[in-house]
Amino acid sequence: MGLKLIHSAAEFRSACDSIRSQGQTLGLVPTMGALHAGHMALVHDAKQRTSRVAVTLFVNPTQFTPGEDFGRYPRTLEPDREQCENAGVDLLFVPSVEEMYPPGDNTRVRVLGIADGLCGAFRVGHFEGVATVVAKFFGLAGACTALFGKKDYQQLKVIERFARDLMLPVTIVGHPIVREPDGLAMSSRNRYLSTDERKRATAIVRGLSVANQRFAEGERNARVLLDCVKVKIAAAELELQYAEITDPESLESWSRSPALLDRALLAVAAYCGRTRLIDNIVLGEDPNPVLSRSQTGTV
């Protein structure tokens, strides 16, 4: 069939409808572009699960808070298109801002509770922007399987919540975090890092790795586990925004349910220079994010 590049919402809707009318299933991978191996892993996962795959590529203005990098966010349509073509993507939907937010647009999707803590506390309005644009994509795509990365763990939970609450015909799949060989979580924003920052950025995953090891050895004191991360981040001179341990489903803070038993989310956001990086691990579930033990020892 080949890759079909679509700019119009109406055309995207009818292309998705036409896939289903042929008795085929649709996989949907929403992205902001500047595609890397993390995005492509979602595409490959989608291809295993569904007969046709649509990727959306849209730098969504409503999810950027004032002062964030909306203007300078990387926009690399041609290499993105090539990667999608090579990966066997069927539809690439690249709408303009006006197409997604036409004149008069005045509706927002706000998820209560789960969107308030972690990143939501610092990026006020961010998840409302995400939920709104993803709801629009779901509205256009119709019944499908939509894939999201666990790198944006809170985002995944927010999307699962509103898809269920709004009774949308979408099956949500969370895909494991794809990492660089040294453990750094892949991100379109990693390209902002200088050589020195790129080296220091691994402090986050090295901290998660140590906490994961301690958890596996039986440590259940949240302060001790959080300190594993904080020590690495401080030593690498990153600026910690938050490190928190929460229930992996409700995202409620550990402090409200101190029985941290089998499974807990450890989520981190830190600035490396001007670049905000996030990462997380589900303690008691995810494998160690850094393969070699020796990599956890140095800053």
Instruction: Give the active site residue among 7, 36, 39, 44.
Output: 39
**Closest CB to ligand AMP among residues 222, 265:** 265
For ligand AMP, which residue of 46, 115, 141, 185 counts as binding (CB under 6 A)?
185
236 binds ligand AMP (CB under 6 A): no
149 binds ligand AMP (CB under 6 A): yes
43 binds ligand AMP (CB under 6 A): no
Sole window of 96-104, 182-190, 233-241, 251-259 interacting with ligand AMP (rule: CB under 6 A): 182-190
Q: How far is the CB of 200 from ligand AMP (least distance, A)?
A: 18
What is the layout of strands, in order, in the sheet containing 91-93? 4-6, 91-93, 52-57, 26-31, 144-149, 170-175
For ligand AMP, which residue of 186, 225, 243, 278 counts as binding (CB under 6 A)?
186
Of residues 1-20, which lie at the interface with ligand AMP (CB under 6 A)? none
Query: Among this protein's residues, is 126 annotated catalytic?
Result: no
Token output for 297: 């020892």
Give which of 197, 162, 127 is closest to 189, Cα–Cα: 197
136 binds ligand AMP (CB under 6 A): no
53 binds ligand AMP (CB under 6 A): no
187 binds ligand AMP (CB under 6 A): yes
Site residues for ligand AMP per CB under 6 A: 31-32, 38-39, 42, 148-149, 151-152, 175, 177-178, 185-188
- Residues marked as catalytic: 39
